[in-house]
């Protein structure tokens, strides 16, 4: 069964700083990778996807995927207090939607 | 606007009682999912459905049933609730052909006493 592990468990960065979140997965047949963000009391919301090896940039967010190393990461540039949330890495093997989630990284951005 | 609506938002149940959690989506998505969220475990897939009349077991189906009577509605049923099923439950919908991330509801907080 797929195992998805995230690190660190929690992360504190200053406003304007860089936040780096890591995720490893166990199934080499994994194809679809998402980062979700969850603010307190809300449901998870998809932040960005990455399907091919390399980097994908969307505004202040950059995702990196290395399937051979079973590794995906998310980097948040110029972090804002509104970025404070729980971030999940989610991986799907074949059927989009049958996601396996990591346990999450709690990010706190202080002003 | 795409939406997934869950009801109730909060529920307190007694051990051994029956609990039904409801989910409605207006996105015309074929696929729907039920996850539970527990600290230290992230979200874990309980049941999912490819369309009306279909239900499939996810990673942790024991103690749960699901029902998909229509494209829009997907229910999660706990026939005999136990304290270990105290959790936050999320419903999601998605369209497998579009490589789009599933859209989640706001969650139902269930406490089984």
**Neighbouring C-beta atoms of residue A36, cutoff 10 Å:** 25
Identify which has the larger pLDDT, B96 or B69. Answer: B69
Does the pLDDT of residue A109 top 70, yes or no? yes
On the question of a cis peptide bond just before residue B89, with omega within 30 degrees of 0, the verdict is: no
**pLDDT value of residue A1:** 84
**pLDDT value of residue B39:** 85
Does the pLDDT of residue B98 top 90, yes or no? no
- Across the interface, of B31, B59, B90, the residue whose CB is closest to A43 is B90
Distance CA B22, CA B7 (A): 5
Distances (CA, A) of A105 to A34, A60, A88, B6, B105: 14, 18, 7, 25, 21
Block residue for tokens 């406490």: B111
pLDDT in tens, A48-87: 999 999 999 999 999 999 999 999 999 999 999 999 999 9
Q: Rg of chain B over CA atoms, in angstroms? A: 13
**pLDDT value of residue A96:** 60
- Residues B71, B54 contacting (CB under 8 angstroms): no
CA distance B17 to chain A (A): 26
Residues in B touching A74 (Cβ below 8 Å): none
Place A95 in a pLDDT band, splitting at 50, 70 and 90: low
**pLDDT value of residue B97:** 67
**pLDDT value of residue B92:** 96
pLDDT in tens, B31-51: 999 999 998 889 999 999 999
CB contact under 8 Å between B105 and A43, yes or no, is yes
Query: Is B43 near chain A, with CB under 8 Å?
Result: yes
* Residues counted in chain A: 111
List the one residue out of A56, A47, A36, A48 whose CA is nearest residue A101: A36
**pLDDT value of residue B2:** 72
**Neighbouring C-beta atoms of residue A83, cutoff 10 Å:** 20
Distances (CA, A) of B28 to A5, B24, B94, B103: 33, 10, 9, 12
CB contact under 8 Å between A51 and B94, yes or no, is no
In sequence order, what are the beta bridge partners of A23?
A: A6, A72
Please name the residue of chain A whose CA is at the shortest distance from the CA of residue B34.
A98
pLDDT in tens, A17-47: 999 999 999 999 999 999 999 999 999 999 9
Does the pLDDT of residue B21 top 90, yes or no? yes
CA distance A50 to chain B (A): 11
**pLDDT value of residue B95:** 82
Distance CA B34, CA B21 (A): 10
Place A98 in a pLDDT band, splitting at 50, 70 and 90: confident
- Residues A63, A48 contacting (CB under 8 angstroms): yes
CA distance B16 to chain A (A): 28
Read off the tokens for B98. 């579009």
Query: Considering chain B, what is the average pLDDT of its residues?
Result: 94
């Amino acid at each position: 069964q797929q195992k998805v592990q995230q690190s660190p468990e929690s992360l504190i960065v200053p406003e304007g700083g860089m936040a780096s979140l890591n995720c490893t997965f166990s199934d080499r047949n994994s194809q679809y990778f998402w980062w979700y963000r969850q603010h307190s009391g809300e449901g998870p919301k998809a932040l960005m996807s990455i399907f091919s090896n390399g980097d994908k940039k969307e505004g202040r967010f950059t995702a990196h995927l290395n399937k051979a190393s079973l590794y995906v990461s998310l980097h948040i540039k110029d972090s804002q207090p509104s970025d404070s949330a729980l971030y999940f890495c989610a991986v799907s093997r074949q059927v989009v939607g049958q996601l396996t989630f990591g346990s999450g990284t709690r990010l706190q951005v202080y002003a | 606007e795409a939406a997934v609506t869950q009801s109730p938002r909060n529920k307190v149940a007694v051990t051994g009682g029956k609990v039904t959690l409801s989910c409605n989506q207006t996105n015309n998505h074929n696929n729907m999912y039920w996850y539970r969220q527990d600290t230290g475990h992230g979200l874990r897939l309980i049941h999912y459905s490819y369309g009306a009349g279909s239900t499939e077991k996810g990673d942790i189906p024991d103690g749960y049933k699901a029902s998909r009577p229509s494209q829009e509605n997907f229910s999660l049923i706990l026939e005999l609730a136990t304290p270990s099923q105290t959790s936050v439950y999320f419903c999601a919908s998605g369209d497998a052909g579009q490589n789009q991330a599933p859209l989640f509801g706001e969650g139902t907080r269930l406490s089984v006493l």
